[in-house]
Amino acid sequence: MGKFEEYSNKYKAIRMDRQDGILEITFHTDGGPLQWGGMPHEEFPRAFYDIGSDPENRVVIMTGTGDAFSGPPGSAESAPKRAPAQWDSTYWEGKHLLWNLLDIEVPIISAINGPALRHSEIPLLCDIVLASETASFQDSGHFISGLVPGDGMHIVMPMLLGLNRGRYFLLTGQTIDSAKALELGLVSEVLPGQDLLPRARELARQLAQQSDLVLRYTRVALTQYVKRMLHDILGYGLALEGLGSADSLMRQR
């Protein structure tokens, strides 16, 4: 069983604070908005495992820092180009990033404070999804940057948007603003920035009135369908993404 004091200051890309069983995790890079890269890709699976193994966590709030949730925009230059042996760690981390997130067996509320241009599937897989008026969603790091969207985006976005809308989103690099995200059902509430975290905390306190077992088992029940899809398809998608990455590497030589 994890202990908060053992992992709460362990990660460079996540700040953690817990009050009355409500854990707030804030993604960042050097105190500013999260810049996606190797470090968060490595840290997040381990952090989610630690959070999920601590029975003192009763509700989780996930948010970002400053005026963006995650970035920077992807590009063909920044897309990874790796040989198969180099892709192996990416394959492992990519699987456990989402598996360990879903293995946090308490409700998770995401408070998306601004554009989520990289790995927007992470906040969108939370149980309650709140967004600021400035939030937007894009998969900038995959297809439009020359990389197969096989690390979960190929599952999550068609599941949430519908098959045709999801494929359009991934293939065109579409940006969905907060108003459209509310209309499409990606998010449940859109709020002014200053009201975002207070609303998340209000909902967390409301959820926390339930017993530990009701909290845990409701989360388990509501994530079984997604877990089954990840179990069946995620590893295959990551393998295809790795093949595309290796092909890009070969064509550079």
More confident position, 185 or 252: 185
CATH fold group of domain 4-252:
2-enoyl-CoA Hydratase; Chain A, domain 1 (3.90.226)
Query: In the prediction, which pLDDT does 74 show?
Result: 64
CA gap 156, 204 in Å, rounded? 24
Please state the separation of Cα 178 from the chain's center in Å.
17
Q: Is the pLDDT of residue 187 over 70?
A: yes
Q: What is the pLDDT of residue 159?
A: 97
pLDDT above 70 for 249: no
- Among candidate residues 211, 25, 227, the one with its CA nearest the CA of residue 110: 25
Could you give the CA distance from residue 247 to residue 202 in angstroms, rounded to a whole number? 48
Residue 127 to residue 114: CA distance in whole angstroms: 19
pLDDT above 70 (res 250): no
> What residue spans of 35-152 are helical by DSSP H?
38-52, 84-102, 121-124
Residues 6+ apart with CB under 8 A from 28: 13, 14, 15, 34, 64, 65, 66
Tokens of 1: 């069983």
Q: How many CB atoms lie within 10 A of CB 16?
A: 19
pLDDT at 134 over 90: yes
Looking only at the bridges linking them, the beta strands covering 34-35 and 70-71 are parallel
Known catalytic residues? 121
Q: Can you list the alpha helix ranges (DSSP code H) found in the chain?
A: 4-7, 38-52, 84-102, 121-124, 153-161, 163-172, 178-184, 193-207, 212-252
Question: Tens digits of per-residue pLDDT, 63-115?
Answer: 999 999 999 876 656 666 667 778 889 999 999 999 999 999 999 999 999 99
pTM: 0.95
Are 197 and 25 in contact, with CB atoms under 8 Å apart? Answer: no
The full DSSP string for 77-99 is TTS----HHHHHHHHHHHHHHHH
Q: Where are the domains of the chain?
A: 4-252
* Whether residue 72 has a cis bond before it, omega within 30° of 0: yes
Q: Percent of the chain scored above 70 by pLDDT?
A: 95
Least confident of 2-6, 31-35, 87-91, 109-113: 87-91
**Model confidence band, residue 247 (pLDDT cutoffs 50, 70, 90):** confident
Average pLDDT score, the chain: 94
Taking the CB of residue 234, how many other CB atoms lie within 10 A of it?
24
Rg from Cα positions in the chain: 17
Please check the confidence at residue 32 and state whether its pLDDT lies above 70.
yes
Minimum mean pLDDT range among 49-63, 98-112, 212-226, 235-249: 235-249
What angle is formed at CA 16 by the lines to CA 14 and CA 19, rounded to 5 degrees? 165
Section 112-133 average pLDDT: 97
Tell me what the mean pLDDT of segment 29-48 comes to. Answer: 96
